[in-house]
Amino acid sequence: MKKRWLKWLRLTTLLAGAALLLSACGRADLSALNPQGAVAKEQLDLMKISISIMTLVVVVVFLIAIYVLFRFRRRPGNDGIPVQVEGNHKLEIVWTVIPLILLVILGVPTVQTVFAQAQDHSKDENAVIVKVTAHQYWWEFEYPEEGIVTAQELVVPVDSRIVIEAKTADVLHSFWIPALAGKIDTNPAGNVNRMFFDTPDKTGIFLGKCAELCGPSHALMDFKVKVVDDESYANWLAAMKAPAVLPEDPAIADAFQKKCLSCHAVGELGGPVYPNLTGIGDRETVAGILVNTDNPQYWNEGSVYENIYRWLEDPQKIKPGNAMPKVELTQEELEGISRYLADYKLNYESEELKNNDATSDKEERQ
Ligand code: HEC
Ligand SMILES: [Cu+2]
């Protein structure tokens, strides 16, 4: 008696644990099961159709199997061989036609959606074209129509069509924003792969991921898609095009130009090969994964300053195998450059966006 009680308790605990674990799967900023844009919604609909059909088939087959097991099992006075119906025309037709119907129900919307989502929308009026280049282990976003290059944070306007042209600078990666759309491989063969997605009509921040194992820091290759209102987007474009700002202290400015701008760019200065640092003080993260708590939405990492400082102290410790070496800096340079970059803000957010951020933060914390 006691044992059975224990068994139930164990089962309930297990199920409760699983429910708790799965409850984290619905995050609006990261879940394909909680789509926030038209493309992701269509993709979820396809998943629903195929899962429903599969479930139907499994349930029906198992019910028949269980019925047969009991109905025709060997019992006293019954030798266990039921009536044989091999070659029964009616049955053969039934179990050929049912799968055909199921395949049509599954196939027609799948082919329709897949082809519709593969359309080239780069000529659409108002489409925002973004050239994405994947690098071990960061993302480069170029806006060819605007002449802007940025990194790690894809800033896009609300209620718009975004056309992605994706390629890689090194190995195979895959561009994926679970809540908005996905995903598309970036191929070392050199071809450009296209996809598009529609941003929701409200502002928000969505988490993007590399979805193809690409090296030791693959799991740290995150980016953000920041959907902002039209006013903020216009401000951002203008601020990105403004002349670069260098550190005020000449010694720090000199160190920054010599030791950092050989790789990085700010504004019109420096090289375009490694992450563009213009406005890094505004971003949600440093290096895609160190979350900036200056933005009140998050509370488990450090301020922008702390995160840049940590990154510069030893980039390899944070993202093993990434292409930024540990740069020799004096303590003054380390602090001065961290302070300068943390304060490098573009201040593009409209009042409305700031207020929205503040309310969604509250909801998230509750
Ligand atoms: C040899 C080239 C190189 C040099 C020199 C270099 N970096 Fe980097 N840096 C990189 C690369 C590559 C990354 C991307 C690493 C990743 O995320 O995989 C990066 C990333 C960063 C990031 C995070 C960027 C982001 O978008 O969040 C910061 C901040 C940064 N570097 C600052 C500096 C500073 C400051 C210096 C000078 C002291 C410097 N770097 C020198 C190559 C370099
Ligand atoms: Cu990758």
What does the pLDDT average to over 12-38? 80
Mutating to test ligand 1, I would choose from 168, 170, 263, 313 the residue with most ligand atoms within 8 A of its C-beta, which is 263
Write the burial class of residue 301 (CB in 10 Å: 0-12 exposed, 13-18 middle, 19+ buried). middle
123: its two tokens: 């000529």
Q: How far is CA 86 from the centre of its chain?
A: 53
Q: What values do phi and psi take at 96, rounded to 5?
A: -95, -40
Which residues contact ligand 1 via a Cβ below 6 A? Answer: 137-138, 151-152, 259-260, 262-264, 274-275, 277, 280, 286-288, 308, 311-312, 319, 322-325, 327, 329, 337, 341
Strand partners, 150: 141
Is the pLDDT score of 258 beyond 80? yes
Output Rg (C-alpha) for the chain, integer angstroms.
Answer: 27
Residue of 288, 295, 241 lying closest to 268 (CA atoms): 241
Mutate which of 152, 324, 331, 340 for ligand 1? The one with the most ligand atoms within 8 Å of its CB, which is: 324
In this predicted structure, the answer to whether residue 365 has a pLDDT above a threshold of 50 is no
Check pLDDT > 50 for residue 286. Answer: yes
In this prediction, residues 179-187 reach a mean pLDDT of 92
Question: What's the mean pLDDT when you consider all of the chain?
Answer: 89
Predicted confidence at residue 20, as pLDDT, reads 73
Distance CA 120, CA 123 (A): 8
Most informative mutation of 264, 285, 316 for ligand 1 (most atoms within 8 A of CB) = 264
Tell me if 142 sits within 8 A of 179, measured CB to CB. no
The rounded distance, in Å, linking the Cα atoms of 259 and 328 is 8
Inform me whether the pLDDT recorded for 24 exceeds 70: no
Cβ atoms within 10 Å, residue 78: 10
Strands 204-210, 173-177: parallel, antiparallel or unpaired by DSSP? antiparallel
Q: Give 131's pLDDT tier (boundaries 50, 70, 90).
A: very high
Q: What is the pLDDT of residue 31?
A: 87
The answer to whether residue 362 scores a pLDDT higher than 50 is: no
Q: Which domains does the chain have, with CATH numbers?
A: 128-230 (2.60.40.420), 250-365 (2.60.40.420)
pLDDT, tens only, 196-252: 999 999 999 999 999 999 999 999 999 999 999 999 999 999 999 999 999 999 999
Average pLDDT over residues 256-265: 94
According to the model, what pLDDT value does residue 19 have?
75
pLDDT in tens, 295-311: 655 556 788 999 999 99
Q: Is 0.75 surpassed by the pTM of this model?
A: yes
Nearest CA to ligand 1 atom 34: 260
Per residue in 52-93, pLDDT (tens digit) is 999 999 999 999 999 988 888 888 877 767 778 788 899 899
Task: Give dist(CA 264, CA 284) in Å, integer.
Answer: 19
Most confident stretch, 20-24, 73-77, 234-238, 289-293: 234-238
End-to-end, the C-alpha distance of the chain in Å comes to 42
Please tell me the distance from the alpha carbon of residue 177 to that of residue 181, in angstroms, as a whole number: 5
Q: Would you state the pLDDT for residue 359? A: 55
Tell me: pLDDT of 357 over 70: no
Per-residue pLDDT, 237: 96
pLDDT tens-digit series, residues 143-174: 999 999 999 999 999 999 999 999 999 999 99
Residues with CB in 5 Å of ion ligand 2? 173, 210, 214, 221
SS3 assignment, position 269 = strand
Return the pLDDT at 43. Answer: 94
